[in-house]
A and B are shown apart, each in its own frame.
Chain A
């Protein structure tokens, strides 16, 4: 990697992910105000502006921002109700929190010079572990020891049930890994690819192609940002169904 400086191309695709203290200094303690803090705060402000300022008139005939807020509400509410059933609707605020945070972090990350908080494994691992631990605890609280019946596939022949149980248990514990790495990996890869392609613009011959490619990739990344927020949320709902809707899925 030390060779990179001597090649002439100054492409540093990972620079955009560096966590920096906002007010100088080198040491990053747990309370230090960093660019992570700033962009998370912007996400909170955007969400607050959309959901609080947009709906402050409580209009029967909604304004534009109010109808966006209502659309998001209806979308997630329907998803929770459809996937987890009536029992799951009381967890709707948690799901909505996750969805809005991921959606707006993803979209804000697409602004030039911004920092994508959801591209960090630390963030997505915490989000996925919250879901994983929450679902596991909830499952045991609601179903007691019967929650373990989820791993014992009664529809299969008795002989292969232990093997299936092993596979089910492995796939259960792999859930938070894939849940978190999917989100972080998709965003990091997309942003790094845009940065690498944009780095080629220093070649004058390639620059028109680069502009087109970056535009196309940017559109793709917009789609990815929304789809990944959706996928994270719907997987949360699917996992929640295991805990809420009994051992069968």
Chain B
């Protein structure tokens, strides 16, 4: 295998890996959706308690999102840094 072909192959591997890594964001989406949905169903049962829990809602979303962000980070690193 000559050098150019090897480089192309490595490039392909990077792109495929980056694409696969972005799938992790789907999990973050599911997690955020579950949190927001449960917040909404709770808020509809007891609307008077809902405004006090907005901070917890956002903290929960942020934590759920954090793990998705790692896969996003991996994708970026594969694309641009490796």
Contacts and interface: CB of A to CB of B under 8 A. Distances in A.
B62 A231 contact: yes
B73 A181 contact: yes
A189 B59 contact: no
A235 B59 contact: yes
Interface string B51-82: 00001001101100111011011001000000
Interface residues of B, number: 13
Interface in A198-237: 227, 230-231, 234-235
A127 interface: no
Nearest to B52: A82
Contact of B72 (A181, A231, A238): A181
Contacts of A177: 70, 73
Contact of B66 (A182, A227, A238): A182
A105 B71 CA distance: 25
A178 B66 contact: yes
A79 B55 contact: yes
Question: Secondary structure at chain A's binding surface: helix, strand, loop or mixed?
Answer: helix
A122 to B, nearest CB: 14
A82 B69 contact: no
A88 interface: no
Contacts of B73: 177, 181, 185
Contacts of B61: 231
Nearest to B76: A185
A182 B55 contact: no
Nearest to A3: B11
Contacts of A181: 69-70, 72-73
Interface in B38-56: 55
A150 interface: no
Q: Which of A79, A181, A227 has the most CB of B within 10 A?
A: A181
A83 interface: yes
A234 B61 CA distance: 12
Interface in A71-111: 79, 82-83
Contacts of B70: 177-178, 181
A178 B58 contact: no
Contacts of A238: 59
A231 B58 contact: yes
A185 B69 CA distance: 8
5 contacts: A82-B55, A227-B58, A231-B62, A235-B59, A235-B62
List 10 tightest A-B contacts by C-beta distance, closest first.
Answer: A178-B66, A231-B62, A181-B69, A182-B69, A181-B73, A185-B72, A185-B69, A231-B58, A178-B69, A234-B55
Given A79-B55, A178-B66, A238-B59, 7 more contacts: A177-B70, A178-B70, A181-B70, A181-B72, A182-B66, A231-B59, A235-B59
